[in-house]
Chain A
């Protein structure tokens, strides 16, 4: 039974003397919470089912003038007309105190060494309802701890069996990894088999745990709740921009917890949002500006470094023209940093600026009417009747958006997917069409044709350019079209595999066409936290900050036609570029590569000529614009480590040294305000269906398919030790169709050498029939995929023995 009841039918009840009209079917505890009446509870949580197993919320109830013989649990007792509830009567209090005494029987008195101490629901309620001296003199039970993985620390002796964690993993995460094993006195929360917890949302059970049984492993014993101050922040990893609170002590982030925002992340955050802060205090942080002198690096002061940057830029412009300078920016840079970068490049005379590092196909121009994003409100995704995912695995891309799709599916909605590979979904897709990566445009075109037929619409002439797909049957496409043609709330979403697809422009055009034909909303699951901000700030080659059109080089052309000087912001090219190998070649040929980075990595030392230390997550103020177009502002929490400085400050001073007009900002909100004024009422825009993108011949041979791994999406998550210790961050494995494996003489556990261009790397093999023959899955952003070629593109596979 869900706690939140939206019922227009009302009943009248009296609760603690107040007479109120409340929705029929609501639980007493939900009604009390609305009214601000505090009923003690442990197992109840408004987002989870109510099992009524802690009994702490017992209240006194009277129906029809007669008291109910025993106190009732408020979490599963629904209101009824004429009900009288007393939450603090003598009988209710006595019942609550009795429950508290039983709960404390086996609970250890280790509050002084417990991380939950000071923010513990049991501690708080024990203060109000517990006895000052325990009557229980027998021995307390002890429970052996289980290793749940690198993120969650356990102290199961403290567990009071509220089962919130069990229900969260079952109902929200969909992984059902924990259970209540054994019985009665011997009940233990655990996996029984020792598999640990692997959900991408697992950290939420730390927040849900009312006691110190489940605590954050990276945070363990590093601070006390009351010492820290809390600051509102925005998670910097995906286009949702989950709202978080950063808890800091003496200028250092100690942990990250969710901040409630029903429109974005509800009360949850993903593990990536929760544990990535560790990257900001990583020992790999770049702490001072560095200048290269041959093979040597020298630490210099900021003035020297920025003058060197200014000279490098001026020299390049003088010698080769401004077109020889290009800027590649992380899609998770702040709006302010993007705006200054854009202004700086335009002042130099170059339009070569881009944040779309993962994009492979630039044949479709930037939409001039608005920014890329999702037309459907995040909260509305929960109750869509139909969602079509194209080239997407949101569980990895935007874990909490996936949670909303899961809610839609559980409520009876149809979630459909057209993908180049099967994935581990945590809900049942209504239909999953898996086609060879090169056939995706043909599958979409066939779907659009079938959809037009079903809707009795004229088939757009451009669709004839794509042939009938061979790997997906006409029946399956028809079934998909039937669902898309039916009535209801519908959304088409395109994901990371469209972004990185060599025919991505075709997929975007066809996706928008399918949305148009079916009357669905359209959405792009954009990379990084701020792809919308990049459009708004004009950090694009074809859109200047003032909104005027331009014709600069995009992220791909900047690398295929090597430039003389590159400015890199917040990226690790060996992971973050669509084709890291191409990027490495371009940087090697350049005269100057100036990298603003929070981390000092061997690859940057090899590729860059100047390294500028950038403030990391939590150390800089700024704005992220999410895929729904919410401008979410956050402040800096602590001083940047070492000599690192916020990007907007570095760029402002660089602008001053270069004599760029208008660079006299004193705070990021001035830049924010300027961008906001220029942006006017810009909103999310979908790809144009007016101008068809022509079909191009797909490349032959074995194709690599991949997208950044869950914890490989950006430098911050890659430098977070706990995240990197999870299963999801282990070295990449080649997944390929069993028929291809047999043909190549590969078996489970064998090794295969993957060659793309001049780069080769050896990987373990895992035959998987969800990968279409003629392609293999190999993720990006992992330790052993650095420097390979395009994440989706041609590759050769050669067996490399059983053990390298």
Chain B
């Protein structure tokens, strides 16, 4: 999971290169093809960088994929699943899209905010949890309201479930 205490590598590690190379084989061997690998590459790098993308790591991806760094920054800021500012050890994404909203996600958000003492987009002062802003539909409407904690889905949320899930996060 995220939140590794080890120092973040500035460039790409050997393992990261291997993982990115594996993605590159799925795309055409061209400049456009390399551009297609930006999203998986950022996922790999973010996973190893404490859950967010420091500039040096985005630059390393740009260099490896032979892109202007700006093109990588655009992708990293476009998608909600990437963070370009430091985050807490756990990222909690409460869905507020229509199905979840109809099933009471607003109350869930309010409850989580109150419980953690932070607003959406903020991180607890102990660096434990970041409540992500504006999570788009995660395609689990059958279990609405739902949330994504790091890489795990939790559905049919209630205040009690929120207490239980959040309290278990270290």
* Cβ contact within 8 Å between A179 and B71: yes
* Cβ contact within 8 Å between A191 and B78: no
Mark B62-101 against chain A: 1 for CB-CB distance below 8 A, else 0.
0000001111011001110000100000000000000000
* Size of A's binding interface in residues, CB under 8 A: 13
* Cβ contact within 8 Å between A182 and B77: yes
**Cα–Cα, bound, A193→B73 (Å):** 9
**Cα–Cα, bound, A178→B70 (Å):** 7
**Cα–Cα, bound, A183→B79 (Å):** 8
B70 contact set on A, CB distance < 8 A: 176-179, 191-192
**Cα–Cα, bound, A177→B55 (Å):** 15
A179 contact set on B, CB distance < 8 A: 70-71, 73-74
Please tell me if A180 contacts chain B, counting CB pairs below 8 Å.
yes
Mark B49-71 against chain A: 1 for CB-CB distance below 8 A, else 0.
00000010000000000001111
- From B69, B77, B84, name the one whose CB has the most chain A CB atoms within 10 angstroms: B77
* Cβ contact within 8 Å between B77 and A183: yes
* Cβ contact within 8 Å between A182 and B55: no
**Cα–Cα, bound, A180→B79 (Å):** 13
Mark B7-19 against chain A: 1 for CB-CB distance below 8 A, else 0.
0000000000000
Please tell me if A181 contacts chain B, counting CB pairs below 8 Å.
yes
**Cα–Cα, bound, A301→B161 (Å):** 92
B77 contact set on A, CB distance < 8 A: 181-183, 192
B84 contact set on A, CB distance < 8 A: 192
Please tell me if A146 contacts chain B, counting CB pairs below 8 Å.
no
A176 contact set on B, CB distance < 8 A: 68-71
Find the B residue at minimum CB distance from A193: B55
With A183-B78, A193-B55 known as contacts, the answer to whether A170 contacts B73 (CB < 8 A) is: no
**Cα–Cα, bound, A170→B31 (Å):** 14
* Cβ contact within 8 Å between A181 and B73: yes
**Cα–Cα, bound, A510→B70 (Å):** 42
Find the B residue at minimum CB distance from A182: B77
B68 contact set on A, CB distance < 8 A: 170, 175-176
Mark A164-192 against chain B: 1 for CB-CB distance below 8 A, else 0.
00000010000111111111000000011
B55 contact set on A, CB distance < 8 A: 193
* Cβ contact within 8 Å between A181 and B71: no
**Cα–Cα, bound, A191→B70 (Å):** 7
A170 contact set on B, CB distance < 8 A: 68
* Cβ contact within 8 Å between A180 and B74: yes
**Cα–Cα, bound, A191→B68 (Å):** 11
**Cα–Cα, bound, A191→B73 (Å):** 8
**Cα–Cα, bound, A327→B59 (Å):** 53
* Cβ contact within 8 Å between B71 and A192: no
**Cα–Cα, bound, A713→B70 (Å):** 31
**Cα–Cα, bound, A176→B55 (Å):** 16
**Cα–Cα, bound, A192→B55 (Å):** 10
**Cα–Cα, bound, A193→B85 (Å):** 11
**Cα–Cα, bound, A176→B77 (Å):** 16
Whole-angstrom distance between the Cβ of B107 and the nearest chain A Cβ: 25
Whole-angstrom distance between the Cβ of A353 and the nearest chain B Cβ: 49
B71 contact set on A, CB distance < 8 A: 176, 179
**Cα–Cα, bound, A176→B71 (Å):** 8
Find the A residue at minimum CB distance from B62: A176
Whole-angstrom distance between the Cβ of B80 and the nearest chain A Cβ: 8
Mark A193-223 against chain B: 1 for CB-CB distance below 8 A, else 0.
1000000000000000000000000000000
Mark A761-802 against chain B: 1 for CB-CB distance below 8 A, else 0.
000000000000000000000000000000000000000000
A183 contact set on B, CB distance < 8 A: 77-79
A181 contact set on B, CB distance < 8 A: 73-74, 77-78
**Cα–Cα, bound, A177→B73 (Å):** 11
Whole-angstrom distance between the Cβ of B137 and the nearest chain A Cβ: 15
B69 contact set on A, CB distance < 8 A: 176, 193
Sorted from nearest, which 8 A-B pairs have the closest CB atoms? A176-B68, A179-B70, A192-B73, A179-B74, A181-B77, A182-B77, A183-B78, A176-B70
A residues sitting closer than 8 Å to B (CB atoms) are 170, 175-183, 191-193
A-B contact pairs, 22 of them (CB 8 A): A170-B68, A175-B68, A176-B68, A176-B69, A176-B70, A177-B70, A179-B73, A179-B74, A180-B74, A181-B74, A181-B77, A181-B78, A182-B77, A183-B77, A183-B78, A183-B79, A191-B70, A192-B70, A192-B73, A193-B55, A193-B69, A193-B73
Given contacts A176-B68, A183-B79, 12 further A-B contacts (CB under 8 A): A175-B68, A176-B69, A176-B71, A177-B70, A179-B70, A181-B74, A181-B78, A191-B70, A192-B70, A192-B73, A192-B77, A193-B73
